[in-house]
Amino acid sequence: RRAAFAAMKGEPPVTRDGTYVALMVNAGLRDDVAALDLTGAEGIGLFRTEFQFLVSATMPQRERQQRLYRDVLDAAGDRPVTFRTVDIGGDKALPYMRVDSEGQEENPAMGWRALRVALEREGLMKAQARALIEAAAGRTLNVMFPLVSEPWEFDEARALFEAQRRWLSARNRKLPAAIRYGAMLEVPALAETLDLLLPRLDFLSVGTNDLTQFLFAADRAHPKLAERYDWLSPAILRFLKRVVDQARDAGVPTTVCGEMGGRTLEAMTLIGLGVERLSVTPVAVGPVKAMIRSLELAPLRKLVGELLVSPPRDLRGRLTDWAVDQGV
């Protein structure tokens, strides 16, 4: 099978009835960029910039960040890279930086992490903004903010980047050809105000790992809960469908970048409910592309639509049966 996936590397991820699905990879280290050539993926849909912080014994200074971002962009060439600003805190604690202001956190995943840290530690965010903007000189910079809960958080983060862009411009530094700003939808509350935010977004990215844990109030790292809440559940799928429909109506491209999109049946279901862009772990590119290329989208759309209106108890079973039946 691995040989079959490798042979498919140059083939486009297009369904049998002609719908193109953008297939990208998640990455976090310099060497991960090699996955682009290995898999034939279209680009990096999620570059987790906190990896550099996590593997470092000391806080990576701006120059070191900038070097990494430039290396990644150089290696990616014409293929787009979407950088996510640091998502530290929570399950990604840094030994050299106390992120919790009040001592030990009881619920770090819901605590002082990601954009919440970055908006308060402005020095950290400014350094990263400058590193990204300078690294992307002459190219398009795609940047997104993790764990946005309310629209103002996105606005503040974007304003901080724009201030750095002006600062660099005033000093005649070479700037990116364009900066595109996106928000990650990982906190269910954001879906309730998404209509207000969409007009200001260049793109949206759905992080299903955090989103699922918050939708179900179930710790994503808890072994006893891992099997209990299925990604193929009516709650998640209905939620995602509303978000995807809303973003499409607003003309905002939406990518699903959580692990859910890297599982073949889940990816199939996401495509069935209207997702057109997936960013997955590199080993999943082959299997997901094979699935897409064997897919007849129109009947899948109809099936998923019906299953979401009146979901059967065994939704996963029904989708599996359909896939087997169709030879997907």
Sole window of 30-38, 163-171, 202-210, 246-254 interacting with ligand PEP (rule: CB under 6 A)? 202-210
Q: Is residue 281 close enough to count as binding ligand PEP by CB under 6 A? A: no
Residue placing its CB nearer to Mg ion in the complex, 60 or 207: 207
Q: Which two tokens stand for residue 318?
A: 């029904």
**Contact predicate 266/232, CB 8 Å:** yes
The listed partner (ligand PEP, Mg ion, none) that binds 326, CB under 5 to 8 Å by sort, is: none
CA dist., res. 71 & res. 293, Å (int): 32
Provide, rounded to whole angstroms, the least separation between the CB of residue 305 and ligand PEP: 25
**Contact predicate 269/291, CB 8 Å:** no
Among positions 89, 151, 207, 272, the unique one binding Mg ion when judged by CB under 5 A: 207
Q: Is residue 209 close enough to count as binding ligand PEP by CB under 6 A? A: yes
The listed partner (Mg ion, ligand PEP, none) that binds 48, CB under 5 to 8 Å by sort, is: ligand PEP
Among positions 13, 111, 207, 261, the unique one binding ligand PEP when judged by CB under 6 A: 207
**Contact predicate 156/176, CB 8 Å:** no
Within 247-276, the residues that bind ligand PEP by CB under 6 A are 257-258
Task: Name the residue type at position 308.
Answer: L
Binding mask 93-132 for ligand PEP (x = CB under 6 A): ----------------------------------------
Sole window of 9-17, 207-215, 240-248, 268-276 interacting with ligand PEP (rule: CB under 6 A)? 207-215
Calculate Rg over the CA atoms of the chain: 20
Among positions 48, 158, 165, 263, the unique one binding ligand PEP when judged by CB under 6 A: 48
Query: What are the C-alpha distances in Å from 11 to residues 14, 270, 271, 285, 286?
Result: 9, 21, 18, 12, 10
CA dist., res. 121 & res. 142, Å (int): 22
The listed partner (Mg ion, ligand PEP, none) that binds 182, CB under 5 to 8 Å by sort, is: none
Go through 127-151 and write b for each residue having 16 or more CB atoms within 10 A of its CB, e for each that does not: bbbbbbbbbbeebebbbbbbbbbeb
Q: Which two tokens stand for residue 317?
A: 């079973």
Determine which helix (DSSP H) or strand (DSSP E) holds 233, and give its type and residue range. Answer: none
Using DSSP, state whether 32 is helix, strand or coil: helix
Binding mask 155-184 for Mg ion (x = CB under 5 A): ------------------------------
**Contact predicate 68/52, CB 8 Å:** yes
User: Under the rule (CB under 5 A), what is the footprint of Mg ion?
Assistant: 186, 207, 210
User: Under the rule (CB under 6 A), what is the footprint of ligand PEP?
Assistant: 46, 48, 87, 186, 207-210, 257-258
